Amino acid sequence: MDRKSFLNNKFLQREFLAVFIVVVNTFSWYFPLYFFFENILRKIPMEFTSLLATYGIHYAMIIAFALIGTALVKRFPSREAFLSVWMLIGIIASALMVALETVDTAYIWLVSFILGSSLGLGLPSGLAYFGDHSTEEIRGRLGGITFFASGLCIFLVGLLISFSTLIVGVMILAMWRGLGLVLFLLVRPKEIIRKANAAEVSYKSILLDKSFLLYLIPWIMFCLINFLEMPVASILFSAEIASLIPIAEYGIGGLAALIGGWFADSVGRKRVIVFGFIMLGIGYAVLGLFPSVILSWYVYIILDGFAWGIFSLMFFMVIWSELAGNRVKEKYYLIGVLPWLISAYMQMLFTPFAELIAVSAAFSLASFFLFLAVFPLMYATETLPDKKIEIRRLKGYVEQAKKTRDKYVTKRDAK
């Protein structure tokens, strides 16, 4: 499928535009909101235990309400109706941050509770919505374009609120979530579509699935290593260099997702994931061997951003949908985001002890464990069928042969 056919046949269809809006708006609403919330908390004098409790409530509510959401979505007439309510709750949750700087700890915990619940409630369904409206042949490209657009919007929204006061920042976030809701209501399918043939599945059966575990284990290892190494890296880098890491993750990461998505549809998901682990392992190895060389810092940041883009695409959007197959996908996506959520909170617990860790040893061990994380992937099943990879390869040969023939004919006619 060439680029023009791909865009016309799938990307610009009404059903997928609705999916695109939900996913892009969710990512570009939550991440700036979280960073904004984090910056506000830094300005409020709080004990470390109270701060840990604030973040603990936030992540616990994301997980708890994600569990609730996977059960609650079935009670709505359609997934679109459920997602609309979820986005409306996000608008309200954003607005509640307006009084954060002037109230006590109890209100901060309440806001943390509401922000966490407002993300978690519909996150598995929003990601499963993408999985249900994308096909194996083009899921990587669709996900790459979606994540690339998300990265751009995260950067733009984050830039706007970084120069804003509390009230203006809250208004921007609420209006952005509201804009997403309005656009979604305008383009969502008018007819109620339910996947009646999608089979229910239990959490136990998912966790006992060997194919699922062979992808989940490397993802867990990556999340733990990357989040726990971040405080060590922040101590090593200067403040200016450390500030480049989020930009790399969303800037370079968005571009990496765009490129990785096209390759994932050509050579398979597993090879792209393995390549991401190798790239990040090299980045940590370089940093471990030359921790005082500034050039090695930039090499690590670039490779880290590249790996984040690939892994975000594969482990947030693509892999779990394909492992779910014709089953209900919400539970697969819920389990899939747990390593990221848990590791993010573990980073906060680990940060006070980061100074006790030798820099070179920390990065060398990280590189070693990242290379170990590749081994389960060697035994994992490729989720893109070999037949479809071969068809795309043959199509490439045919297109190249046509170009060579046309070039030869043009030269012959010119003579």
- Return the closest-CA partner of residue 362 out of 220, 242, 224, 253: 224
- Return the closest-CA partner of residue 322 out of 127, 188, 113: 127
Domain 201-393: give its CATH architecture: Up-down Bundle (1.20)
Q: DSSP letter at 191?
A: S
User: What number does CATH give the domain 14-188?
Assistant: 1.20.1250.20
What is the value of pTM for the model shown? 0.88
- Return the closest-CA partner of residue 312 out of 108, 143, 116: 143
174 Cβ contact partners less than 8 Å away, ≥ 6 residues apart? 91, 94, 95
For the chain, give every domain's residue range: 14-188, 201-393
Residue that is written with structure tokens 């037949």 in the block? 387
Matching fold, domains 14-188 and 201-393:
yes
Per-residue HEC secondary structure of 332-373 comes to HHHHHHHHHHHHHHHHHHHHHHHHHCCHHHHHHHHHHHHHHH
Cα–Cα distance measured from residue 368 to residue 28, given in angstroms and rounded to the nearest whole number: 33
Residues 101, 109: contact at Cβ < 8 Å? no
Burial 71-110 (b: 16+ CB within 10 A, else e): ebbeeeeebbebbbebbebbbebbbbbeebeeeeeeebbe
Helix or strand run (H / E) with residue 95: helix 79-95
Each of the 415 residues of the chain gets a pLDDT tens digit; together they read 444 455 555 555 667 899 999 999 999 999 999 999 988 888 888 888 999 999 999 999 999 999 999 999 989 988 999 999 999 999 999 998 988 877 788 889 999 999 999 999 999 999 999 999 888 888 999 999 999 999 899 989 988 998 888 899 999 999 999 999 999 999 887 655 555 567 889 999 999 999 999 999 999 999 999 898 888 888 888 766 776 677 777 788 889 999 999 999 988 899 999 999 998 988 888 888 888 888 888 888 889 889 999 999 999 999 999 999 889 999 999 999 999 999 999 999 998 888 888 777 888 888 888 888 889 999 998 888 765 555 555 455 445 555 555 555 555 555 5
